[in-house]
Structure 1
Amino acid sequence: MNNHPLVRSIRAPLATPPIETLATHIISAIEGEYRGIVIHGMARFGKSWAIRYLIELAMWAPHSAYLTKVGIPKNHKRVDGAFFSLFLENFDLKLPERCSALDRLHRLRNRIIERCNEHGTNLCIIFMDEAQRLFPDDYEHLCTLDNEMTDRGYMLFVVFVHQSDFTSAVNERIYEGNPPPHVWKRFLMRHHVFKGLADSKAVEYVLNRYDECTEYPPGSGISYTKAFAEEAFSSGWRLTHHAEQLYAHAERLRRENKLPSPWTWPMKSFELCVNYLLTNIAKARKAFTGFSEDDIAKALFVSGFLEMELNRHTWSNED
């Protein structure tokens, strides 16, 4: 059990309704021949989890595609050519001491094309995490890269993943106004709000992944739920049996603390809660048959659910 995926500090993502909705919006934008889509989501709602899942499970894409991720660092300024260096570092490419911005662009273009060819595709999907940190010139560089790719028969598509409760620095709000038409029409026309789990049905869907759609060790047929509650699982108990109970308890906590509705459950606190239930309560309890209200309360406390809910702003698009 010491090496089970659920006891690792960095755990593999599972499919969720918000991830599947995100994939649908990306596919729609690609099929509409846009070159990008802007994703808004609050902190700890599972945006990075979604990026990892979609890159690791590329079969969701409408065609074969090369998928990768670039994290945008927080800078007060970026010198000419530094934007392309962000990508090149992602590809582990070492640059000569003297390398012009144009040379970096060409190296990046060639590497993306090389990776596309390795994957047998002409479509490259790049997830830009923390995209609210992009500068206006960064979008111009993307336009140039898009032109270079298009001229050679390849399609660049960028998923701009923004944290909506940003710090409000000037560069983090720059395109709330009126970006140039060539930038807007390529990259910024399509938008999607990434939310949490909306109701008990969404909770049940994710819990079912633990029950039926996971396996460890590979080829064993042992799901994550079964691994930590084998006797109860063999007797017919499932994690999904607690979906309504879990959601109702979380909703009650919010209501008691005068937090507004409607709301959606951020993936961070949800995943921590479920992980604690399985790895600490179900695993440790002899003759385990299911979770009590006290168990749910303890797991929600350990996950920091209420603290996160009190701390975050309730965004207008949560409804």
Structure 2
Amino acid sequence: MYGGVRQCLRRGVRGAIIYGHTRWGKTYGIRYCSRLLKQDLPRVVVLTVSSPRNPPRSEGGFFGVLLESAQHARPDTGSGFRLRRRLYNRYSELVANASGNTLVLFVDEAQRLEILHYEWLRDVQDKLGERGIRMFVFLVGQPGILNSRSAFCSDVDTSQIVSRFMVDVMPFSGLRAAADLKMPLDAYDRSAFPEDSDWTYTRFFLPRAFDAGFRLGDQMQVVWNTFEAVHRLGRFDFPLEIPMEYLARSVELALSTNMEHDGSCFALSGACWEQAIAESNFVAALQALRIIFVDQAN
């Protein structure tokens, strides 16, 4: 996801769709990308707004949501015109404070947006452009947003929304191979809490095993094989794809329920992972998504 975002910034693509199923980790992906952008490109302003279940259909309400995400002191007072002007000035102020000319806006749950919301976003992008500011919008949502894109493409009056905000389309997939597990499992071995300590997450739960060389990252094939066996037993007629939430939940369960077995020779077995995956509700999640996956395959 981060690679796709950086590529859009390099190519000057001002609007892109990032889509994936619920529980795939998109919201955490936004946080991850935001943090890396602020670290790698400190002169770029990065903001995130989450579209509410029923997005405001009034100009004032919509600009109030954007102002609140920009931490403005008065996001909900004044007329629609005043809130609009306040947003332009707030965005300009943030960019000026960063000594740059670029603003990145992630819109979470973007499948909820309607035409009028895109029109208002276009006005914001245009007004900032007049002030010498480049605004990039990344629409992050569920696959239903692709239906909106198709509908906009078929109408001359709305096709400009696609050319403005939906130029690139990037799928946010689950984990599809054992190799995909390497990085997230390694993260438990490397990430420490508190950050300036030597206590990684793996070491916290299994200190003796960790000090003896046990690493979750080395277990990627065991973990994948176990997920694959559970998937096969469920008789799912679509390829295995692990949502990030269920990998993380399985890891947490495997670590926390096996603390008492910690020892210098201990390693998480296939049976440990099988129990953790069962308790994570992974199978129930796939059953709920069965219709979607089969439809995609066809």
Normalising to structure 2: TM-score of the pair?
0.89
Greater relative contact order: 1 or 2 (C-alpha under 8 angstroms, separation 6 or more)? Answer: 1
| Counterpart in the other structure of 2:132 | 153
Q: Output the CA distance in 2 between the equivalents of 1:119 and 1:265.
A: 38
Q: Output the CA distance in 2 between the equivalents of 1:42 and 1:100.
A: 37
Structure 1 residue 315: Cα displacement: 6.3
Superposed CA offset, 1:131-184 (max 9, x none): 011010111111110111010011111110111268xxxxx9544313523322
Choose 248-257 or 137-146, whichever is displaced more: 248-257
| Counterpart in the other structure of 2:74 | 94
Q: 1:81 to 1:59 in 2, by over 3 A?
A: closer
Q: One-letter code of the match for 2:189?
A: D
The answer to whether the 8 Å contact 2:202/2:255 transfers is: yes
The answer to whether the 8 Å contact 1:27/1:61 transfers is: no
Q: Are residue 105 (structure 1) and residue 79 (structure 2) matched?
A: no
Percent identity (aligned)? 25
In structure 1, runs of 5+ residues without a counterpart are 1-21, 167-171
How many pairs are equivalent?
A: 290
Choose 44-53 or 289-298, whichever is displaced more: 289-298
The answer to whether the 8 Å contact 1:263/1:318 transfers is: no
Structure 1 residue 87: Cα displacement: 0.6
The answer to whether the 8 Å contact 2:19/2:170 transfers is: yes
Structure 1 residue 37: Cα displacement: 0.6
| Counterpart in the other structure of 1:229 | 206
| Counterpart in the other structure of 2:122 | 143
Normalising to structure 1: TM-score of the pair?
0.84
In structure 2, runs of 5+ residues without a counterpart are none
Q: 1:114 to 1:130 in 2, by over 3 A?
A: same
Q: Could you say what secondary structure the match of 2:100 adopts?
A: coil
Q: Output the CA distance in 1 between the equivalents of 2:297 and 2:96.
A: 41
Q: Are residue 310 (structure 1) and residue 295 (structure 2) matched?
A: no
| Counterpart in the other structure of 1:191 | 169
Q: Output the CA distance in 2 between the equivalents of 1:46 and 1:96.
A: 30
Q: Output the CA distance in 1 between the equivalents of 2:285 and 2:22.
A: 10
Which of 157, 160, 163 pairs up with 2:142?
163
Q: Which has the higher helix share?
A: 2
Q: 1:65 to 1:175 in 2, by over 3 A?
A: same
Q: Output the CA distance in 2 between the equivalents of 1:296 and 1:80.
A: 50
Structure 1 residue 304: Cα displacement: 0.9
